[in-house]
Amino acid sequence: MSETFDGGGRLPAAFMTPGTSSFTDFLREVNPDLLPGLRDVPQGGSSAQHLTPEATTIVALTFPGGAVLAGDRRATAGNVIAHRDMDKLYRADEFSAIAIAGAAGVGIELAKLFQVELEHYEKMEGHSLSLEGKANKLATMIRGNLAMALQGFVVLPLLVGYDEADRAGRIFSYDPVGGRYEEHRFHSIGSGSVYASGALKKLFTDGLTRDDAVTAAVQSLYDAADDDAATGGPDVHRKIYPLVDVITEEGHRRLPNDEIAEVAEAIVRARSERPEGPTAPLR
């Protein structure tokens, strides 16, 4: 540790040795303590599962020219609300964002490492990884967490990006062993995902505008919060609203709070008239 962070001293030999463009691999050489997932978790039985709060519903959908990623703000530990204003979405780089469901502590660490990994590669090589490359890299990192997953610290990310080659938004989901699946049109993960997916299935059409896609995402999160105790709905009193990231050829953009507040409040108002929300035509 001291060798690596000797700020005033010369750069250590390991830093001057040409080698990998992977930040994770480099860190494993010089400072493995900093890597997540390498620690041995003591066999604590099921109680270990409550060491870190669980993060919940995330939705993603594509629209012509981009993709929307949105998440609620609640983290729970058992039946207790651990956080009301958690941020489960991370800007991974200019053209991608990652969201996490599952063990919050481990997930945040993973998202942070993934972010540095992409950036490090880009700086070392002079160009960024393809979206496929980013998706595959994330799969490897999930696989690295398998031992932790078996102890109950399961982390499932959702990767959303704008593919500059395809000029379209794309969505990738994962399983706990690192299986990578490309999702078309829309997808949802987390405890409220069944309800959110149901809502999205009815709301999604192929030609959504960006604003409609954002509304559809917030609507589906409302439905998830409606039926899943571990998902938080828009909290109009505390002014806590879902977080929404939009990725287009312009890059990644986190929507400002007042913009989402407007969408969320309109939805809450409409739901006071019709609690089940918008209906789809029967045929």
Partner 1 sequence: MPFYVSPEQSMKDKADYARKGIARGRSAVVLRYDGGILLVADNMSRTLHKISELYDRIAFAAVGRYNEFENLRQAGVKFADVRGYAYDRRDVNGRMLANAYAQTLGAVFSESSKPWEVEIVVAEVGETADSDQIYRVTFDGSVVDERDFVAMGGSADRVSTSLKEHFDKDASLAGALAAAMHALAQEGGEQRDIEASSLEVAVLEREREHRKFRRVQGDRLNRLIEEGKAAEEPAAGGDDAGDSDDS
Catalytic residues, which ones?
Answer: 56
- Rounded to 5 degrees, what angle do the CA atoms 50, 51, 54 make? 60
Residue 275 touches partner 1, criterion: CB under 8 A = no
Taking a C-beta distance cutoff of 8 angstroms, is the pair 141, 155 a contact?
no
Task: Compose the 192-231 pattern: x for residues touching partner 1 by CB under 8 A, - for all others.
Answer: ----------------------------------------
Residues between 84 and 143 with contacts to partner 1, criterion CB under 8 A: 91, 94, 112-113, 116, 119-120, 123-124, 126
Taking a C-beta distance cutoff of 8 angstroms, is the pair 205, 236 a contact?
no
Q: How far is the CB of 7 from partner 1 (least distance, A)?
A: 5
Query: Phi and psi at residue 159, in whole multiples of 5°?
Result: -110, 130
Q: Given candidates 3, 25, 34, 78, which one binds partner 1 under the rule CB under 8 A?
A: 34
Residue 32 touches partner 1, criterion: CB under 8 A = no
Task: Report the C-alpha gap between 31 and 175 in whole angstroms.
Answer: 28
Distance between alpha carbon 277 and the CA centroid of its chain, in Å?
Answer: 26
Instruction: Specify the amino acid at residue 74.
Output: R
Q: How far is the CB of 16 from partner 1 (least distance, A)?
A: 5
Taking a C-beta distance cutoff of 8 angstroms, is the pair 46, 35 a contact?
no
Residue 38 touches partner 1, criterion: CB under 8 A = no
Instruction: Specify the amino acid at residue 103.
Output: A
Please identify which residue in the block is written with the tokens 């979405």.
89
Choice between 85 and 94, CB closer to partner 1: 94
Q: How far is the CB of 34 from partner 1 (least distance, A)?
A: 6
CA dihedral 58, 175, 36, 122 (to 10 degrees): -80
Q: How far is the CB of 179 from partner 1 (least distance, A)?
A: 27
Residue 22 touches partner 1, criterion: CB under 8 A = no
Point out which residues bind partner 1 (CB under 8 A): 4-5, 7-11, 15-16, 18, 23, 26-27, 30-31, 34, 91, 94, 112-113, 116, 119-120, 123-124, 126
